[in-house]
Amino acid sequence: MKKFAVVLGASGEIGEKIARQLADSKWSVYLHWNSRPLDDLAAELKAGYPDQEFVPVRADFAENGAAERLAGQVFDAACIVVASGHALYKMLIDTTDPDIEELWQVHVKNPVSAIRLISPFFHRHSKSYVVFISSIWGEIGASMETAYSAVKGAQLAFVKAYAKEMAASGTRVNAVSPGFIATKMNSSWSEEELKAIEDEIPLGLGTPQDVADAVDFLVNGKADYMTGQTLRVNGGWHM
């Protein structure tokens, strides 16, 4: 029997690495995207793993009703990984209501609604998994990223509550909290700024694969006595 995972935000660098890692661990994957089509990725994965299925699904999580549109394209799941999202670097006084609304929709409202709508499939499986890719800022907060820190903290609160609610059903709910991961999202930083940040982190900058490996650990039977936890992948930046 094939096992299906839904990767929200599979078009991002971290989401794509997670999808590839799950495929290598014998998961069939629903590849969620919005602005970057994933037909080529699906075809590549299908060629590499012909016994599995890889299905691109589109939904704009900045819009109302996106969770319903996504869930309508999913027909089985034993795993949901929430890797969708975007950063916002502004002082709170400069942050607009539309900014806050979009952060809430993309990071909390639509992911939580998608989990609610897809979770009935979990009852087909003895074990199921939900993993949020949160952020170090959801734990400790960041100046100039107050609204972003708030929604990332909300994800961590959801993980704790939903873990308690779903434990009896065999669903493990955890979060991965990355530190500074070298992605295109951080390309606006100068070399000097990146070097200063890297010098603060005992193990240096992280990679998307570091996050994907943590997700793989959580959803492939090696961490089944963990639920409601935040797995820090930050190179020792926050201990």
CA distance 199 to 119: 42
Q: What type of residue is 95?
A: T
How large a percentage of the chain has pLDDT more than 70? Answer: 100
Are 70 and 106 in contact, with CB atoms under 8 Å apart? Answer: no
- Whether 166 is in a domain gets the answer yes
Q: What is the rounded end-to-end Cα distance, in angstroms, of the chain?
A: 40
Residue matched to tokens 């009935």: 120
pLDDT of residue 6: 98
Give the mean model confidence (pLDDT) for residues 201-229: 97
What does the pLDDT read at residue 152? 98
Q: Which two tokens stand for residue 81?
A: 């990984």
Q: Catalytic: 148?
A: yes
Mean pLDDT over residues 113-134, rounded? 98
| pLDDT mean across residues, the chain | 96
pLDDT of residue 1: 82
Q: Which residue has the tokens 């990332």?
A: 152
Per-residue confidence (pLDDT) for residue 190, from 0 to 100: 81
**Phi, psi (deg, nearest 5) at residue 232:** -85, 125
Kindly state whether residue 239 falls inside one of the protein's structural domains: no
Mean pLDDT of 128-141: 97
Question: What is the model's pLDDT at position 189?
Answer: 77
Residues 148/86, Cβ–Cβ less than 8 Å: no
Please give the pLDDT value at position 201: 95
**Does residue 92 sit in helix, strand or coil?**
helix
Report which residue type is found at 120.
P
As a whole number, mean pLDDT of residues 44-58 equals 98
Q: Report if residue 109 sits inside a domain.
A: yes
Alpha carbon distance 176, 157 (integer Å): 13
Q: Where are the beta strands (DSSP E) in the chain?
A: 4-8, 28-33, 54-58, 79-82, 128-133, 171-178, 230-233
**Range list of β-strands (E), 67-192:** 79-82, 128-133, 171-178
Residue 115 lies in a domain: yes
Q: Quick check: is 19 in a domain?
A: yes
What is the C-alpha separation between 83 and 90, in angstroms, rounded?
22
Of 9-13, 111-115, 196-200, which gets the smallest average pLDDT? 196-200
- Out of 114-128, 185-199, 217-231, pick the least confident: 185-199
Beta strands in 13-135 (DSSP E): 28-33, 54-58, 79-82, 128-133
Longest dimension (CA), the chain: 52
Mean of the pLDDT values across residues 12-22? Answer: 97
3-class state of residue 16 by DSSP: helix
**Type and span of the H or E element at 108:** none
Instruction: Classify residue 49: in a domain, yes or no.
Output: yes
Six-digit token string for 182: 């070298």
Catalytic residue among 89, 148, 162, 225: 148
Domain holding 49, by residue range, is 4-233
Are the beta carbons of 141 and 98 closer than 8 angstroms? no
* Residue 238 resides in a domain: no
Instruction: Report percent pLDDT > 90 for the chain.
Output: 92
- Which amino acid is located at 51 in the chain? D
Q: What is the CATH number of the domain that holds 215?
A: 3.40.50.720
pLDDT of residue 191: 84
What is the number of domains present in the chain?
1
Per-residue confidence (pLDDT) for residue 176, from 0 to 100 = 98
